[in-house]
Chains A and B, each alone.
Chain A
Amino acid sequence: PKATQTRNCTMTKTKNSLSRASVRRQFPNTGKGEWYNADKAPTPLKSRKANHKPTRLRSSISPGTILILVAGKYRGKRVVFLKQLESGLLLVTGPYRMNGVPLRRVNQAFVIATSTQVDLAGVDTAGVTDALFKGAKPSTKKSAQKDFLAAEAAEKAPVSDEKKALQKKVDAALAKKIKAVPSLKDYLKSAFTLSSGQYPHNLKF
């Protein structure tokens, strides 16, 4: 609605401050209007960037929980949840020797949490952060033949030594804990499947 009237009153008291100039904004149909303070500069909306809260972790997921990956390259695999990273993603590991799942980030939306827990005492995951998983940035130049080939080579780059070392360290400690529980190693080695008559909404995990 257009401002159809202006008035310069002395001491017009609006909600936030006293104002000299106030403008009336009129709604065409009802003729009702409201006076707002014309002197006041518009306040920007509050930015939520300062108030960064980490992604809420499902109550069924806690360090040591065995998760079932439901999507992606390792769908169906049962993995151990280690910790939630800064980005909000879950850090999981197979362990690698048991089911081929390396230290990996996973979104909790694509995960089923089981009620089985592994004791993580003595498993040190402090060295693993989001920075470890950042891939090489693709070239921003226009695609010349050279750049394409270089980019492809970068995609298939072998796993860094740093990652391998961390993988070994974490998995070694974790494997001990897993072997302490009977059948747990076989459980992690096997994949989750649905068979006839099994419906996910009826199953308990």
Chain B
Amino acid sequence: GKLKQLRNMSHYRNVEVGRICWINYGELYGKTVSVVDILDQNRVLVDGPAVSRCQMPLRRLGLTNMKVAIQRGQRHKGVINAWNAAKIDEQWAKTSIARRLARSATRANLSDFERFKVGVAKRQRNAAVAVEAAKLKKQSKK
């Protein structure tokens, strides 16, 4: 009925075979996988280029709006082929989540000297912003 209609609208990201998800908890944090089969209410079978085929609780997955054209239970090779054909890695890198993860990783790996330089740059940027803000405030008061 109406619900099914809504579900088929483009904004919904369904848990379905071929749905690309990213793992948001645990050892495999940050990796992308494709849903290959649905095991029960809470678990799915996933597979992907960076993750060997395994079951994954849905709690650990964040859904993306990308899909690959695979069949239910598709074997690893088939998943990889479909993955490459759809250029998932490229699309994923453009998403804001992927960029956020990359930024976090860079920040975590900064050396003490690099962290110092970042701090200096931030302070300079904030000082420049403060100057402009003060100008605008003055203007608005007039």
Q: How far is the CA of A203 from the CA of B108 in the complex (A)?
A: 7
26 CB-based A-B contacts, threshold 8 Å? A66-B112, A66-B113, A68-B112, A78-B112, A114-B111, A114-B112, A114-B113, A115-B111, A115-B112, A116-B111, A116-B113, A183-B113, A183-B116, A183-B117, A183-B120, A184-B113, A186-B116, A186-B120, A190-B116, A192-B112, A203-B112, A204-B108, A204-B111, A204-B112, A205-B111, A205-B112
- Contact (Cβ within 8 A) B113 A204: no
Q: How far is the CA of A115 from the CA of B111 in the complex (A)?
A: 7
Bitwise interface map of B from 95 to 122 toward A, beta carbon under 8 Å scored 1, else 0: 0000000000000111111011100100
Most buried by A among B108, B111, B112, B116: B112
Report chain B residues within 8 Å CB of A116.
111-113
* Main SS class of interface, B: helix
CB closest residue in chain B, given A182: B117
Report chain A residues within 8 Å CB of B112.
66, 68, 78, 114-116, 192, 203-205
Interface size (A, Cβ < 8 Å)? 16
A196 interface residue (CB < 8 Å to B): no
Residue ranges of A at the interface with B (Cβ–Cβ < 8 Å):
66, 68, 78, 114-116, 183-184, 186-187, 190, 192, 202-205
- Contact (Cβ within 8 A) A187 B116: yes
Report chain B residues within 8 Å CB of A190.
116
- Other than the given A114-B111, A116-B112, A203-B112, 13 more pairs (CB < 8 A) read A68-B112, A78-B112, A115-B111, A115-B113, A116-B113, A183-B113, A184-B113, A187-B113, A187-B116, A190-B116, A203-B115, A204-B108, A204-B109
Q: How far is the CA of A202 from the CA of B116 in the complex (A)?
A: 16
Taking the closest CB of chain A, its distance from the CB of B111, in whole angstroms, is: 5
Taking the closest CB of chain B, its distance from the CB of A103, in whole angstroms, is: 23
Q: How far is the CA of A186 from the CA of B109 in the complex (A)?
A: 21
CB closest residue in chain B, given A202: B108
Q: How far is the CA of A202 from the CA of B109 in the complex (A)?
A: 10
Most buried by A among B109, B110, B111, B120: B111
Report chain A residues within 8 Å CB of B113.
66, 114-116, 183-184, 187
Q: How far is the CA of A187 from the CA of B115 in the complex (A)?
A: 10
Report chain B residues within 8 Å CB of A183.
113, 116-117, 120
Report chain B residues within 8 Å CB of A184.
113
